[in-house]
Amino acid sequence: MAPKESHQVILPSQVTTTGDLNRLIRELDTLDDYLNQAALRSAQEASKLPQTSRVLEELAASHSLQLLRPGDRKAFKAILGEIKQQAPTIHFSFASPPSLTFLNKLVTWLRTNIDTNLLLKIGLEPSIAGGCIVRTTNKQFDFSLRKHFVLQHDLLVNVLTGRKESQ
Amino acid sequence: MNNGWNIAIIVLLVLVAGVLIWLALTISKLRLPAKHLTKGTFEDQAKRDVEHIFNDEFREELRNRGRLHFEKIIGENAMFLQQDLRLTTSQVNEYIKKEITEKLQGEFTKYEQTISDAKQIAIDSITKTNTQLEQESHTLSVQLHQEFDGEKARMIKRFDEHMAEIVNYYVLSAVGNQVDLNDQLEFILKDLQENKEDIFKDINNGA
């Protein structure tokens, strides 16, 4: 089963959540606003460019887009907006906040196997103890340690009562 | 016996008094006609002789003797009467004492019997109460044992039923925060791989 490639832009693994994508869009909007305002001012009044993230620059460079060009910025904003509108989102609930490395590995696997522009929403649910709960559009997949314990209820009872598993 | 003697003595005294009175009357009757014998008849002479013999001195002597004898008899009888009275009094005292003693003895016997009966009734009542208490205690003990056994069985059953949940809760509480998420990545990816098709279908065809 090949992942679905529905968009021209491939999101880097650093952009894992909808929050990350929104932050990129805000940065791009800020830069665009600044450059548009700077174009209206004289050259002497030009000040320092707002700092952009490395992810935004790399993403733009990887698609041959110049952020200083108004047309490219507009195209880039349209692409990011389209991704925001159309990218599938999966909600993951973990017992503790995941690290960036963990999220990168997870989103890499998902984009490799499910959808190339898939985004995550991260939630916390300490009661699951371990594992995660995955919610897609219509379904929920419980991969938590709590669920594993419940599924292994009979095995645990047999072990605790000293009965053999075969019985 | 003494009463009989007393009666006899009293009767004798009455007879003696009667004889003396009769003698006195007879002598007085004989003296009156003597005044009429002054005509010198033989009978008158005899009467005079009799009056000479039984003159006033002699009569006074007889009366004195009779009085003394009577006093003596009266004194003796009074003494006898006193003795009898003392004897009777002592007998009456002994009789009363004996009667009172017997009565008291009887009353004490009845009283002891009553106390004994009451004691026996109390003992019977206490024994009966003890028996009932022992029966109640036994019944309660049996009921308590049954309740304990039932509660024990219920607790064991409840523990059996919820044992897994208890252990799960304990394990989750104990190790939940100790498991590193990075260590779980392999298992999470394995689960995702197993459900990859469902996730793919839901994402692409769901909404």
CB of A146 within 8 Å of a chain B CB? The answer is: yes
What part of B 163-192 touches A (C-beta under 8 Å)?
163-164, 167-168, 171-172, 175-177, 179, 181-182, 184-185, 187-189, 191-192
Under the banding of pLDDT at 50, 70 and 90, the label for residue B134 is very high
- Domain boundary, last residue among A27, A62, A85: A85
Q: Which amino acid appears at position B193 of this protein?
A: Q
Would you state the torsion angle of the CA atoms of residues A33, A35, A41, A43, taken in this order, to the nearest 10 degrees?
Answer: 160
Q: Which residue has the higher pLDDT, B171 or B70?
A: B70
Q: What residues in B contact A85, CB-CB < 8 Å? A: none
pLDDT at A91 over 80: yes
- Are B58 and B23 in contact by the 8 Å Cβ rule? The answer is no
Q: Is residue A112 part of a domain?
A: yes
Q: Which domain holds residue A97?
A: 87-153
Q: Return the pLDDT at B149.
A: 94
* Planar angle of CA B160, B166, B167, nearest 5 degrees: 100
Q: Return the pLDDT at B178.
A: 67
Q: Is residue A160 part of a domain?
A: no
Q: Is residue A166 part of a domain?
A: no
Q: What residues in B contact A98, CB-CB < 8 Å? A: 181
Answer yes or no: do A81 and A115 share one domain: no
For the segment A1-33, what is each residue's pLDDT rounded down to a tens digit?
555 544 456 788 888 888 989 999 999 999 988
**Coil/strand/helix, residue B22:** helix
Q: Give the ipTM.
A: 0.76
Q: Do B206 and A98 touch (CB under 8 A)?
A: no
* Planar angle of CA B49, B55, B59, nearest 5 degrees: 135
Q: Which residue has the higher pLDDT, A139 or B168?
A: A139
Alpha-carbon span B189 to A112, nearest angstrom: 12
Answer yes or no: do A97 and A75 share one domain: no
Place of tokens 């999101």: A11
pLDDT at A64 over 90: no
Answer yes or no: do A47 and A92 share one domain: no
Report the residue of A7, A109, A128, A133 to disrupt the B interface, i.e. the one with the largest count of B CBs within 10 Å.
A109
Question: Where are chain B's structural domains?
Answer: 2-128
Answer yes or no: do A97 and A46 share one domain: no
Which ranges constitute the DSSP H helices of A8-144?
18-40, 54-62, 70-86, 100-113
Q: Return the pLDDT at B139.
A: 94
Q: What residues in A contact B193, CB-CB < 8 Å? A: 113
- Are A83 and A7 in contact by the 8 Å Cβ rule? The answer is yes
For the segment B69-106, what is each residue's pLDDT rounded down to a tens digit?
989 988 998 999 889 889 988 988 888 888 888 989 99
- Domain boundary, last residue among A60, A85, A110: A85
CB of A119 within 8 Å of a chain B CB? The answer is: no
Q: Return the pLDDT at B202.
A: 87
Q: Is residue A77 part of a domain?
A: yes
CA distances in angstroms from B34 to A65, B21, B53, B62, listed in the order given: 213, 20, 13, 21
Q: Do A157 and B164 touch (CB under 8 A)?
A: yes
Answer yes or no: do A74 and A23 share one domain: yes
Q: Do A113 and B193 touch (CB under 8 A)?
A: yes
Q: Is residue A4 part of a domain?
A: no
Answer yes or no: do A93 and A132 share one domain: yes
For the segment B44-62, what is each residue's pLDDT rounded down to a tens digit?
888 878 777 778 888 888 8
* Number of structural domains in chain A: 2
Q: Is residue A12 part of a domain?
A: no
